[in-house]
Amino acid sequence: MTTNLLPPMEVKKATNWVIALSILLILLGALAIFSPLFASAFFVVMLGWIALFTGIAMIVQSFRAQPVRGFWMTLIVGIFYSIAGLFIIFNTLKSVALLTLSFGILFIAEGITTIVMGFTNRVGKSMSWLVVLNGIITLILGILVINGWPSTALWFIGLYVGISILFSGISLLAAALAARKVMGDVVDGDSSTT
């Protein structure tokens, strides 16, 4: 069986971009971890702009597709999205606090659900203890966020997003380096057989 692999130069070129992106993500993740308040505010403001643009697009779409059913529903939802986006943009600290509170509640609910699932469904058979451990950690994190709220709002979202971006960068870097290694092994194997 033969496989069609990309030429080594194309793999190297493609992985160069992935490596550059992964390094950028690692740096941005580290920056967010070391300045979580700025990262929290930036993330929430970006959510506000996304909500605002989504709302405007929905309003415009509702008028463009006026004869179609759902005109009023699309228009009303678009107006709510726009109002929510403007509220988030102009009330960043309140929005960060509310989003942090929401994350705390979400983690508590997820933690309880995961613990129950680990005990009742025995997910993963002998490895179900990992599911329960994950639920316990998530539950503790949720309790800590809620217990320290609103002061946790100053750092939680930025730290959470920073850790996520950092690990995304690390995993992308590892994948790119592994792809290069595999391609190097294939090229070395081909040259040794000829």
DSSP H/E element including 168: helix 156-193
Residue spans per domain, the chain: 15-184
Distance of CA 193 to the CA centre of its chain: 45
Dihedral sign computed on CA atoms, order 182, 185, 190, 193: negative
For 120, the token pair is 């009742």
Tell whether the torsion through CA atoms of 164, 168, 169 and 170 is positive or negative.
positive
Question: What is the pLDDT, as a whole number, of residue 27?
Answer: 93
Are 22 and 16 in contact by the 8 Å Cβ rule? The answer is no
Task: Give the pLDDT confidence score for residue 61 in this predicted structure.
Answer: 85
HSE (side-chain half, CA atoms, 13 Å) at 157: 27
Per-residue DSSP letter, 155: T
Q: What is the pLDDT of residue 161?
A: 83
Contact assessment for residue 97 and residue 153, using Cβ atoms and an 8 Å cutoff: yes
pTM of the predicted protein model: 0.64
The pLDDT value recorded for residue 57 is 92
Mean pLDDT by runs of 10 across the 194 residues of the chain is 59 80 91 89 91 92 74 86 93 88 88 84 65 84 86 82 84 79 63 55
Calpha distance 156→105 (Å, rounded)? 13
**Which residue is associated with the tokens 């929430």?**
44
